[in-house]
A and B are shown apart, each in its own frame.
Chain A
Amino acid sequence: MPHTDSDIRRMLDKIGVDTIDDLYADVPQEVIFREDYDIPSAMSEIELRKHFEALGEKNRRLTVFGGCGVYDHYSPSAVAHLLGRSEFYTAYTPYQPEISQGTLTYIFEYQSIISELTGMEATNASMYDGATAAAEAMFMMVASAKKKNRVVLSATLLDQVIRVVRTYGKFHGVEVTVVPEKDGVSDFEAIMAEVEKGDVAGVIVPVPNKYGIIEDYTGWAEAIHGAKGYMAMYADPSALAVLRTPAEWGADVACGDGQTLGMPMSFGGPYLGFISCGKGMLRKMPGRVVGATKDADGKRAFVLTLQAREQHIRREKATSNICSNQSLMALYATIYVSLMGKSGMVEVNRLSCDGAHYLYDRLIESGKFEAAFPGKPFLKEFVVKTELDVEALNARLLEHGIMGGVNLGDGRVEFAVTEKRTKEEIDRLVALLTA
């Protein structure tokens, strides 16, 4: 705070009061806080760095083989450098388009990139995370399907996604039915049996699913649409560079978490949620949207658009209470995908996939692990079963600086491999697991 004593005196004189306390004269005396906050004393930068370094030393940086929605992908150096431009990170939401074309342009690029990955026509400016984006996808389907107040989820969606969708559904008054999986994949017959009851607005299924399995949705969209329901897909946007897209599967909405687009794992956030849809559902879509237009001189420019859906105009009649986006993370995703480009996005998936299959093959070969879902195709993540004590195995790995697979219980363990892992690291993991 830059105020000198003489500044304060001059300002108080202008205002016509004697002390700063006089500016609080209207506040009832009984609520004035007269103590000191119970927080540490002020720290200099030197002390602050030492404080955080000491905290950091209580953390363990590991060679990560865990996934379950969060992956240790590599981010090219240029991403962080460009994100550090303070014209980006100290800006407010671009309400004044004339001085916010930087933000508006990259959001337009972000929308374009996510639309390319999902195959959908429209994408919003981003949401908080994948789980909340799935909850908003649920609301979109309920708002589009008149007088149907139930949504069906496949149990093969990530646990954190199901948890959040359930919470939003419970409070908003949408019934959420989670249909159990069958052999590690969504149960088509059981889900259709629910949809055909006539009160279901839509279905949410994953690409790939929580076990890493790439499910086959042939015929799903036709069947769900035939029963007058909508289909939403929860997808890994990085994997969509190679996998069949939600649009190709016939989905009406796509959502998911942008963490896989090179974002640091950051102990759970910040990431971003994305949501895409066809033009038909556009006006039910929550959140900010950027569109192209022209200025008074005919120059191309970008602007927040379709704001008539939003809370600051519609208040309680808005499509959502969302009033921000994860703008800087949308920039992250945009720069990451631009650097990796058309071929790099495919190569990241190929390296991760080949590494994951190499690990899988070694584990099966060892005789100590067997396939949890034999024959099911996977990209960068898979589940194996073992008679060994998974907790003890993971504790041993931790001693060696490795985060092993996520323990799913009942001897099942889920491993993920990204392009950051090397053959040597995998060999070492296998040696420790099978010793």
Chain B
Amino acid sequence: MKYYDKLIFELSRPGRKGYELPADEYGKDAMSAIPSELMRGTEAELPEVSELDVVRHYTNLSMKNFGVDTGFYPLGSCTMKYNPKINEEIAAMPQFTQLHPLQDEKGVQGALELYYNLQQALANIAGLYEFTLNPYAGAHGELTGLMVMRQYHLSRGDEKRTKVIVPNSAHGTNPASAMVAGLEVVEVKSKPNGSIDVEDLKPLLDDTVAGIMMTNPNTLGMFETEIMEIAALVHEAGGLLYYDGANLNPLLGKVRPGDMGFDIMHINLHKTFSTPHGGGGPGSGPVGVVEHLAKFLPNPRVRKNADGSFSIESDGESLGSVSSFLGNFGVMMKAYAYILTLGRENLKNVGPLATLNANYIKESLKDDYLLPIDGVCKHEFVFDGLKDKSTGVTTLNVAKRLLDYGFHAPTIYFPLLFHESMMIEPTETESVETLDEFIDVMHKVAAEARETPEDVKNAPLTTIVRKLDETTAAKNPVLTYRQLKSAAEK
């Protein structure tokens, strides 16, 4: 594609317009009567462009992006599955998008029914008692879940439980969410296979522990086989188990977190339930809990009444509110449409086929890439870079070279357990042909690393921009068009 290098501000011409509004028929200029000291002193320098300018500009920008619709995303821990088109259309239905969150409950019964049914479906899929859909994202769900954990202990007058145990292999949001929730993080060691070291866990479990945060399968894609023992130990010590739903996908149809002893969890609707990632959001991070914790979930809540109608309520024992209203409703609509499309018959195949795809790639590539932990994985697995370390080609080099071949990179340098981590998660929506193409390219890159290593080290070579100077960007931040313009003038 021809390189397009404009900002919307650079298309701006004084007096150009891209909108039409009705004539002001009120006959009185009320805005001019507002005291001038309450009004802006200078105009905002906003773009002045035509509608066609805007349409061409953003169409051109879109062509500088890679998405699931463009190509394969083997991005570990991100579950980049296909986002069915019908879900977008349904979420755009004006019967839902034009509802004001404070309008009378009588006029939003359809929306509340959908919200309630999705809560129920998630509770059943998770093996838990009740869900709130209010949290806006995975990290927000973690924070909300940890607030539930603390509220539970505080409600029992147990104020000394201020520690949360987090594996050293956990996603960075786990300890960060704990910090925001006012909890102190205690790390538990992982064994070489990434599983929690139960012997290291035991001495940590005292009466200051609020609970433990875990993913299962863990960040290496390995199932925590000692989960029942861990659950028993944590519960005996008076703590709760939090399940980070980032890795839920392989369990669909196979295992329910509630059945493993987890008390609280969040689900990333934008991973497991196929709502698009949107370039970073909006997502949705529903939180589910066992029965005795349900009263602590955040307000507002959606309840079904005896007469079959639905209402919005607030509960006195709730931890409080974490969102303005009922969360990202538009995202919930897509997730609910996804669940109904797959239905009872097919949703249960998601986990097994995601696991099949991951193992197929792993077995096909372990001749060229170093597999530190052999054995069956679940939805994802981790290579520790290329097997042949003599070439000097790093995981970063391989990742960037993949961009040249039209694939997204895997998640790299995470988890921190290995120096050259390369985390691959294909999801169940990819066909074996796509996986084979990816496998071929990965083999080709491994061959290049041996034969023409400079091509790999200088990658990407064919993308519309090449390696970026990130150091200068951080040292002298230029964060707005105004700053860019004044930097150029200097």
Contacts and interface: CB of A to CB of B under 8 A. Distances in A.
Contacts of A170: 320
Interface stretch (B200-208, B327-335, B387-395, B440-448): B327-335
Contacts of B142: 321
Given A26-B376, A116-B45, A354 B29 contact: yes
A403 B104 contact: yes
A37 B227 contact: no
Contacts of A317: 179
Given A1-B346, A39-B343, A109-B481, A269 B26 contact: no
B172 A42 contact: no
Contacts of B227: 28, 31
A303 B473 contact: yes
A327 B47 contact: no
A196 interface: no
Contacts of B49: 338-339, 341
Contact of A93 (B3, B279, B353): B279
17 contacts: A2-B431, A23-B355, A33-B259, A38-B121, A39-B125, A40-B344, A42-B343, A43-B341, A78-B54, A89-B67, A99-B403, A103-B65, A265-B97, A303-B473, A316-B185, A334-B8, A343-B17
Interface in A310-343: 310-318, 320-329, 331, 334-335, 337-343
A253 interface: no
A269 B330 contact: yes
Interface stretch (B237-245, B249-257, B286-294, B449-457): B249-257
Pick from B97, B173, B337 the residue with the most CB of A within 10 Å.
Answer: B173
B483 A244 contact: no
Given A90-B67, A94-B279, A32 B359 contact: no
B182 A59 contact: no
Given A131-B321, A271-B324, 18 more contacts: A15-B356, A28-B225, A33-B256, A37-B121, A42-B341, A53-B93, A58-B109, A78-B55, A88-B278, A92-B67, A98-B468, A99-B66, A128-B323, A245-B40, A296-B467, A328-B282, A335-B58, A377-B35
A228 to B, nearest CB: 25
Nearest to B350: A1
Contacts of B483: 121, 292
B398 interface: no
B110 interface: yes
B363 interface: yes
A355 interface: yes
Contact of A129 (B88, B107, B323): B323
Nearest to A416: B100
Contacts of A130: 324
A358 B28 contact: yes
Nearest to B472: A293
A366 interface: no
A146 interface: no
A289 B479 contact: yes
B85 to A, nearest CB: 8
Interface stretch (A6-14, A187-195, A198-206): A6-14
B81 to A, nearest CB: 10
B306 interface: no
Contacts of B340: 39-40, 42-43, 48, 51
Nearest to B256: A33
Question: Chain B interface: which size bin?
Answer: 35 or more
A377 B38 contact: yes
A226 interface: no
A82 interface: yes
A190 to B, nearest CB: 22
A305 B477 contact: yes
B430 interface: yes
A333 to B, nearest CB: 12
Given A59-B111, A240-B40, A92 B73 contact: yes
Pick from B21, B277, B331, B350 the residue with the most CB of A within 10 Å.
Answer: B21
B265 to A, nearest CB: 14
A337 B9 CA distance: 11
B175 interface: yes
B356 A59 contact: no
A57 interface: yes
Pick from A60, A72, A122 the residue with the most CB of B within 10 Å.
Answer: A60
Contact of A52 (B90, B323, B363): B90
A80 B88 CA distance: 11
B408 A325 contact: no
B43 A398 contact: no
A321 B139 contact: yes
B194 interface: no
B21 A419 contact: yes
Contacts of A98: 400, 403, 460, 463-468
Given A354-B31, A357-B30, A97 B468 contact: yes
Interface in A189-227: 214, 216, 218
Contacts of B175: 311, 315-316
B311 interface: no
A88 B65 contact: yes
B298 interface: yes
Contacts of B320: 163-164, 166-167, 170
A345 B55 CA distance: 19
Interface in B16-75: 16-19, 21-22, 24-26, 28-31, 34-35, 37-41, 43-49, 51, 54-55, 57-59, 61-70, 73, 75
B316 interface: no
B254 to A, nearest CB: 6
Contacts of A91: 65-68, 277-279
Nearest to B346: A42
B47 A337 contact: yes
A68 interface: yes
Nearest to B280: A327
Contacts of B37: 216, 218, 244
A128 to B, nearest CB: 4
A394 interface: yes
Nearest to A170: B320
A291 B473 CA distance: 6
B228 to A, nearest CB: 6
B352 interface: yes
Contacts of B180: 139, 168, 171-172, 320-321
B43 A342 contact: yes
Contacts of A293: 468-470, 472-473, 478
A15 to B, nearest CB: 5
B30 A356 contact: yes
Interface string B425-442: 000111110000000000
A266 to B, nearest CB: 5
A3 interface: yes
B480 A295 contact: no
A139 B75 CA distance: 32
A130 B101 CA distance: 15
A316 B184 CA distance: 9
A4 B109 CA distance: 41
B307 to A, nearest CB: 14
Contacts of A103: 65, 279-280
Pick from B329, B339, B356 the residue with the most CB of A within 10 Å.
Answer: B356
B385 interface: no
Contacts of B278: 88-89, 91, 326-329
A17 B28 CA distance: 79
Contact of B80 (A33, A92, A116, A379): A92
Nearest to B178: A316
A45 B260 CA distance: 35
B211 interface: no
Pick from B64, B375, B409 the residue with the most CB of A within 10 Å.
Answer: B64
